[in-house]
């Protein structure tokens, strides 16, 4: 069989067969959270929620690193961009995320040298070619992105680059899932875990969560067939009262994950407590540089202190990111808060739940 790993997982007849099977098997009402913003995006883009029976409620998880990066971290990036001679390199999604006063995009408009990169490799190349400038890479991401960022930091160390540093805002998924499951009003009965995060980490941490919180977890891919299959496997576990980790995305996820990537991450980073925007501090939920790589810490190099949180009260991103409300239930949604003038990060990122509802719900059914 010839595969391109995309089209065959979007094949409309196959998608309809899965939707029909789910409708036949769904009995009890249930609430399933998809962790990853990429899954949220595709659920709305392909209208998968509209193919499901009304007894199945999908709620959208915190899996958008851009959305959970705290205001203080954005402020630090803006402060770095304002230091004469620095170049701040960032993934494009971060540019319009509002800090407490401004965004990287507005800092750039006022003369800051902020450059959008697709890969951290580009930031390293800029540091090598612009040897007189100080280059800071805004290292944002979940476990999926940590190995790439670690590789670039290790390479900078090997090359002995002294004009390259990183603003580390890495977060980890399992502690956030534990925080959601421990919350008093948690309604999540099953999880679609994020396939690309688990491609790196494997499934061990999730097995502990599944048994401790008695919750089915299905590691799930991103295409329509993947998401529907993940939902089906959650339903089957709920029906048979099993609380296990299943791997729907087995074409990419190995039980032990990508061990070469894990080794490099463990060498370059160490686990730290981290603030999540709109949620608060979650213990051991982030990464910082390990002592051996501390010379690459931009906060230390430029002596910048992170400020305490100061999020707008009007933005209910924290509730959205924990699945407590859906984006249209926020009073500001689509009114004071739109993609062109966002109050919070989930309206900015292409994977933010608010932006996904704004873009696709409007197109699909004109609800807004």
Which residues of the shown chain bind another protein in the complex (CB under 8 A)?
Answer: 1, 3-6, 8-9, 14, 17-18, 21, 36-38, 63-66, 91, 93, 118-122, 140-142, 144-145, 147-148, 151, 154-155, 158, 194, 196-197, 199-200, 221, 225-226, 229, 248-254, 258, 260-261, 264, 349, 351
For the bound state, the minimum distance from the C-beta of residue 18 to another protein, rounded and expressed in Å, comes to: 6
The rounded distance, in Å, linking the Cα atoms of 218 and 296 is: 37
Cα distances from 33 to residues 10, 27, 56, 165, 335, in angstroms, run 21, 18, 11, 36, 26
Nearer to another protein, 141 or 334 (CB): 141
Q: How far is residue 33's CA from residue 106's CA, in Å, rounded to a whole number?
A: 34
Cβ closer to another protein: 21 or 183?
Answer: 21
Nearer to another protein, 139 or 209 (CB): 139
Nearer to another protein, 165 or 258 (CB): 258
- 35, 84, 114, 351 from 229: Cα distances, Å: 15, 52, 41, 21
Angle at 349 between CA 267 and CA 107, to 5 degrees: 85
Closest to another protein by CB, 113 vs 223, is 223
CB-wise, 183 or 350, nearer to another protein? Answer: 350
| Beta-bridge partners for 154 | none
Least distance (Å) from another protein to the CB of residue 241? 20
CB nearer to another protein: give 73 or 332: 73
User: Which C-beta is closer to another protein: that of 50 or that of 119?
Assistant: 119
Q: Phi and psi at residue 95, in whole multiples of 5°?
A: -65, -40
Q: Are 87 and 123 in contact (CB under 8 A)?
A: no
Shortest approach of another protein to residue 194 CB, angstroms? 6
- Are 131 and 75 in contact by the 8 Å Cβ rule? The answer is no
Class of residue 313 by CB neighbours under 10 A (exposed 0-12, middle 13-18, buried 19+) = exposed
Distance in Å, CB of 232 to another protein, minimum: 8
Please give the order of strands across the beta sheet that includes 134-141: 114-116, 86-90, 134-141, 164-171, 280-289, 269-276
Nearest residue (CB) to another protein, 189 versus 349 = 349
In the beta sheet, which residues pair with residue 190? 32
> C-beta of 156: minimal distance to another protein in Å?
11
CB of 320 to another protein, least distance (A): 16
CA distance 335 to 217: 36
Least spacing, CB of residue 367 vs another protein, in Å: 26
Distances (CA, A) of 243 to 20, 122, 214, 237, 367: 24, 43, 5, 7, 36
Tokens of 62: 């915190």
Beta carbon of residue 324, minimum distance to another protein (angstroms, whole number): 22
In angstroms, give the least distance from the CB of 270 to another protein: 20
Give the pair of three-digit tokens for residue 198: 């688990």
**Residue of 239, 244, 168, 182 lying closest to 211 (CA atoms):** 244
The 8-class DSSP code of residue 358 comes to: I
Q: Measured from the CB atom, is 282 or 332 closer to another protein?
A: 282
CB of 152 to another protein, least distance (A): 9
């Amino acid at each position: 069989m010839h595969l391109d790993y995309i089209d065959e997982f979007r094949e409309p007849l196959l998608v309809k067969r899965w939707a029909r099977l789910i409708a036949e098997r769904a009995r009890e009402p249930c609430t399933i959270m998809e962790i990853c913003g990429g899954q949220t995006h595709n659920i709305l883009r392909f209208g998968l929620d509209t193919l499901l029976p009304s007894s199945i409620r999908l709620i959208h998880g915190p899996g958008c690193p851009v959305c959970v990066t705290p205001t203080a971290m954005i402020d630090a990036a803006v402060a770095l961009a304002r230091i004469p001679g620095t170049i701040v390199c960032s993934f494009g999604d971060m540019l319009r995320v509002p800090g407490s006063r401004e965004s990287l995009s507005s800092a750039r408009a006022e003369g800051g040298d902020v450059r959008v990169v697709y890969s951290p490799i580009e930031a390293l190349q800029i540091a090598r070619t612009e040897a007189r400038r100080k280059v800071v890479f805004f290292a944002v991401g979940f476990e999926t992105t940590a190995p790439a960022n670690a590789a670039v930091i290790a390479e900078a160390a090997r090359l002995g680059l002294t004009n390259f540093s990183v603003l580390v805002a890495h977060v980890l998924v399992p502690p956030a899932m534990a925080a959601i499951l421990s919350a008093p009003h948690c309604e999540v009965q099953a999880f679609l875990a994020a396939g690309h995060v688990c491609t790196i980490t494997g499934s061990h941490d999730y097995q502990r969560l599944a048994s401790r919180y008695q919750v089915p977890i299905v590691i799930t891919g991103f295409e329509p067939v993947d998401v529907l299959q993940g939902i089906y496997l959650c339903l089957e576990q709920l029906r048979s009262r099993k609380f296990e980790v299943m791997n729907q995305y087995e074409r990419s996820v190995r039980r032990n994950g990508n061990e070469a990537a894990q080794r490099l991450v463990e060498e370059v980073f160490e686990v730290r407590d981290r603030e999540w925007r709109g949620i608060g501090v979650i213990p051991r939920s982030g990464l910082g540089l390990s002592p051996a790589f501390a010379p690459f810490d931009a906060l230390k190099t430029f002596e910048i202190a992170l400020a305490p949180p100061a999020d707008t009260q009007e933005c209910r991103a924290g509730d959205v990111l924990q699945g407590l409300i859906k984006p249209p239930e926020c009073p500001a949604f689509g009114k004071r808060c739109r993609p062109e003038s966002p109050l919070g990060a989930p309206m900015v990122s292409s994977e933010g739940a608010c932006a996904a509802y704004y873009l696709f719900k409007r197109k699909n059914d004109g609800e807004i």
